[in-house]
Amino acid sequence: ELKVEQNPLFLSMQEGKNYTIYCNYSTTSDRLYWYRQDPGKSLESLFVLLSNGAVKQEGRLMASLDTKARLSTLHITAAVHDLSATYFCAVGGSQGNLIFGKGTKLSVKP
Amino acid sequence: SAVISQKPSRDICQRGTSLTIQCQVDSQVTMMFWYRQQPGQSLTLIATANQGSEATYESGFVIDKFPISRPNLTFSTLTVSNMSPEDSSIYLCSVKGLYQETQYFGPGTRLLVL
């Protein structure tokens, strides 16, 4: 059974600081997704990582994938308040569906 | 990207009743999924909606409780039957196109069962 573990589950950061969210998964998968969810809202796609060593960046967020270690990271650079949200990683399942981690609730404080 | 709408956006229902949620996509998609997100929790797959055939359910979800239809490539419904307070959740429709890797999510239906 494919399992996805994220850590930390809660993250309180100061503006301007850097931090990394980790996503480990238990079995081989060729697709890794990162989503953002604001309170009361749906999920917004951030990144799709499809190969070992893939790195994608958008603004202050950068995601990477190491399929050998079954690890993806979401790095936050110089955090700003607008990044406060819950971030989910998800791994592609055999049926085309997604298996989600528990999410990391990020709070960026001035 | 796909534009997905869901109806209703929210509802308050009495236990024992049923609610049908609609998911409409603005383009033909190969795959449609229904997820549940319980309060403060992550997303759990309920089932894959298959066009013209019975949905494929995940362990712990059954057709009698969550009947699903998908009459064409752009529309699906999920019914939550004989509701109890434990069914209070956000129900989300998700889609994926044939040549797309990204899965898109609808705005969700927020259900409260009293």
The answer on pLDDT for A96 being more than 90 is no
Pairing verdict, β B4-7 and B104-105: unpaired
Q: Which residues of B touch A45 (CB under 8 A)?
A: 102-104
To probe the interface with B, which of A6, A9, A42 has the most B CB atoms within 10 Å? A42
CA distance B110 to B67: 18
> What pLDDT shows up at residue A36?
98
Is residue A89 within 8 Å of residue A23, measured between CB atoms?
yes
pLDDT class of B88 with cuts at 50, 70, 90: very high
Instruction: Give residue A81's pLDDT band: very low, low, confident or very high (50, 70, 90).
Output: very high
Contact B66/A at CB under 8 A: no
* B33 contact residues in A (CB cutoff 8 A): 96-98
Residue corresponding to tokens 């089932």? B47
| Partner residue facing A43 (CB), from B44, B101, B105 | B105
- What is the DSSP code string of A2-19? --EEEE-SEEEEETT--E
pLDDT in tens, B36-85: 999 999 999 999 999 988 999 999 999 999 999 999 999 999 999 999 99
Q: Which of B45, B102, B105 sits opposite A48 (nearest CB)?
A: B102
pLDDT at A62 over 90: yes
B42 near A CB under 8 A: yes
The three-state secondary structure class of B85 is helix
Assess whether the previous peptide bond of A8 is cis (omega < 30° from 0). yes
Which residues in chain B have their CB less than 8 angstroms from residue A103's CB?
42
pLDDT at A7: 97
**B98 or B20, which is more confident:** B20
Q: How far is A80 from chain B (nearest CA, A)?
A: 23
Nearest CA in chain A to B4: A42
- Looking at the partner chain, which of B41, B102, B106 has a beta carbon nearest the beta carbon of A42? B106
pLDDT for A88 = 98
Residue B17's H or E segment, with its range, is none
Question: Which pLDDT does position B81 carry in this prediction?
Answer: 98
Question: Burial of B44 by CB count in 10 Å (0-12 exposed, 13-18 middle, 19+ buried)?
Answer: middle
- Chain Cα centroid distance, residue A8: 11
Averaged pLDDT score across all residues of chain B? 95
Reply yes or no on whether the pLDDT at A30 is more than 80.
no
**Does residue B1 register a pLDDT over 90?**
no
pLDDT of residue B87: 97
